[in-house]
Amino acid sequence: MLLSPYSKWLQSSVLKTIGTILLLSVFVGCSPSTNDLKAIEYTPLADDDWKVSTPVDQRLEPMLVAELYYNAAKLETIYGLLVIKNSHLIAERYFNKGSVKQKARIQSATKSITSALVGIALDQGLLSSLDMRMIDFFPEVADKITDPRKKQITIRHLLQMRAGYPWEESHPDLWKGLLSGHYPPLIEKFPLVSDPGTKFHYSNLTSNWLGIIIDRASGMNLKAYAEEHLFSFLGVKAGDWGQDAEGHNNGCGDLHLTARDAARFGQLYLDDGVYRGDQIVPAAWVHESLQTYSVNEAFVKKVGAFHDIGYGYHWWSANVGKHHVNFAWGHGGQLIVLLDDIKMVIVVTAHPFWKEHNKESWKHEKAIIKLVSKFIDSLPDE
């Protein structure tokens, strides 16, 4: 049958429209139907290490949770996703290579645990003050310092990422130094890019030096100190924790935890350092750690729905929707997010992209942050 010019134009237009709709559905994604969401399974696995509940019982709209997990299932690198509300595990699911027993490399989320150990050491008197000088813990390099500003760097500066040392990813030589595993000599070798205490510069080395300070102040390996004074009280059984060339555990990262153990640490901070009636981390330390000492000074000012991104004592902070959040954040999309206003903890473990810092790894990391921040943005206040 021959088509008139008008019919041909109409047919072509319809096909183009259908093609556009299909294309948009691929890139934008269609909203799930109610039936789609009702089919999503996120019931926590049966175990006795967490009190288990449901979104409804904790006054949370279940469809919001279902949509979170519906969207999470589309991500290629996410391993585990947990939601805790009012101290109850209300949602849990594992994807890709993830499992409830998997001890994931939580990357720089480790920094928040290093911070907790500083607070415990301070409370025990192993550290007399946050204003103690960094250099006093490194006598092997003290006489080699040529920049007098470095002698004024304090533990507080290290905790706030305001010591003045540069972000290692800003130059290949700095990155090579970080991977060398020999950290005390870099106190002198790496130049300062600002005066101590004046500006925020994200620095993995400052966290590693903090770890060594705890090691030397306590006379214990950092992991052993954590197991005795933190993990044992939480029932956390840590996996591997990467070490430097001298055998010090890396304060900046490389700790392996299950998603549930990471959630226990998050819940500890949400509860002002108390776990099952015991004060594990001083409440004052938790409060000081979750303050914002730098805002919109980091390498990213907005990601997903997170904006006004700030930094405390090795904890990030941000605003999203009606909520203010604090979060431990590791490369690849490792997250321990605290929402104090609605008593919620969200935990994500993901592929860590170990030693892969490129556009591809950031694409996946950003997708996870967008997932979580979009969910938080959808939550009402209480």
Query: Which pTM was predicted?
Result: 0.91
Name the DSSP class of 148. Answer: G
pLDDT value at residue 17: 37
pLDDT value at residue 30: 66
b or e along 36-67 (b: 16 or more beta carbons within 10 Å of the residue's beta carbon)?
A: ebeebebebeeeeebebbbbeebebebbebbb
Residue ranges and CATH numbers for the domains of the chain are 104-378 (3.40.710.10)
Of the candidates 108, 76, 85, 160, the one whose C-alpha atom is nearest the C-alpha of residue 361 is 76
Structure tokens at 161: 């990422």
pLDDT in tens, the chain (382 residues): 444 443 444 344 434 433 433 333 433 446 888 888 988 999 998 877 899 999 999 999 999 999 999 999 999 999 999 999 999 999 999 999 899 999 999 999 999 999 999 999 999 999 999 999 999 999 999 999 999 999 999 999 999 999 999 999 989 999 999 999 999 999 999 999 999 999 999 999 999 999 999 999 999 999 999 999 999 999 999 999 999 999 999 999 999 999 999 999 999 999 999 999 999 999 999 999 999 999 999 888 899 999 999 999 999 999 999 999 999 999 999 999 999 999 999 999 999 999 898 999 999 999 999 999 999 999 998 7
Contact 210, 137 (CB under 8 A): no
Instruction: Please return the burial class of 202, using the count of CB atoms within 10 Å of its CB with bins 0-12, 13-18 and 19+.
Output: buried
In whole angstroms, what is the distance from residue 243 CA to residue 74 CA? 34
Of the candidates 108, 336, 352, 106, the one whose C-alpha atom is nearest the C-alpha of residue 238 is 106
pLDDT value at residue 10: 39
Q: Is 324 helix (H, G, I), strand (E, B) or coil?
A: strand
Of the candidates 82, 207, 298, the one whose C-alpha atom is nearest the C-alpha of residue 215 is 207
pLDDT value at residue 21: 36
Longest dimension (CA), the chain: 93
In whole angstroms, what is the distance from residue 26 CA to residue 357 CA? 27
Contact 226, 238 (CB under 8 A): yes
